[in-house]
């Protein structure tokens, strides 16, 4: 059985694994919530530019207490730092970058993902929301979309499903799913398990996934 870890540790492990998806030279958008943590783990030898749809090209790590600038925030209204050479622009220009397919990678959170790569991550019916944000543009304008999330919800129900039950952000847009239990790729023929989290078995992953799951022939344990 998997080792029980506190929520903060689990989130850190997911963020560290997601960092491995980033290659030197990439332009990357990190979604609000857990994805923003990925910025803290980017290897110093990687030349990466982080883009925020609210108008900052060149996001740095999270600020220390004495570095906090309340006017310098990401799309999730969290304070950030700016890397050397960062630039600022208005929202229209920022979305021009996104819609023009200039992003190599987007790492976003998810509420549900289907076996065909459909994504639901912007609202739950009946819950108050501030707006849909930029996710719909980002998932269609990025060359690769990676979703990071818990494998099951707070009720223990699968978040990876045959069909999403929540309103969709995009259809067929997800390439890879990274959870606290596994790494799963979205293929034309369905979902493929490529990595199993430490302490989990293939059968346990299949049991907590609400869709069919093929197993990659070179399956290995996730390293974070």
Contacts for 43 with CB less than 8 Å, ≥ 6 apart: 19
User: Which residue is listed with tokens 């622009």?
Assistant: 89
Sign of dihedral through CA atoms 96, 101, 106, 109? positive
The token pair that represents 189 in the structure block: 């023929």
Tokens of 140: 């269609």
Catalytic residue among 21, 53, 112, 195: 53
Rg (C-alpha) for the chain, rounded Å, is 17
**Residue 53 falls in the annotated catalytic set:** yes
Give strand pairing partners of 158. 152
3 state SS of 112: strand
Tell me which residues are annotated as active site. Answer: 53
């Amino acid at each position: 059985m998997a080792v029980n870890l506190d929520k903060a540790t689990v989130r850190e492990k997911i963020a560290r694994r997601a960092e491995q998806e980033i290659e030197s030279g990439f332009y990357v958008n990190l979604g609000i919530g857990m994805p923003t943590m990925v910025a803290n783990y980017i290897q110093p030898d990687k030349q990466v530019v982080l883009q925020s749809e609210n108008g900052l090209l060149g996001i740095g790590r999270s600020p220390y207490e004495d570095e906090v600038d309340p006017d310098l925030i990401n799309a999730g209204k969290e304070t950030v730092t700016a890397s050397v050479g960062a630039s600022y622009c208005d929202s229209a220009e920022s979305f021009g970058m996104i819609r023009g397919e200039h992003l190599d990678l987007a790492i976003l959170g998810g509420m549900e993902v289907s076996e065909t790569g459909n994504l639901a991550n912007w609202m739950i019916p009946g819950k108050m929301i501030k707006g849909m944000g930029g996710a719909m543009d980002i998932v269609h304008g990025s060359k690769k979309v990676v979703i990071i999330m818990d494998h099951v919800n707070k009720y223990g129900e699968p978040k990876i499903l045959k069909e999403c039950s929540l309103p969709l952000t995009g259809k067929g847009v997800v390439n890879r799913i990274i959870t606290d239990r596994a790494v799963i790729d979205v293929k034309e023929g369905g979902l493929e398990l490529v990595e199993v989290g430490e302490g989990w078995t293939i059968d346990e992953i299949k049991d907590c996934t609400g869709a069919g799951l093929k197993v990659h022939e070179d399956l290995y344990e996730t390293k974070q």
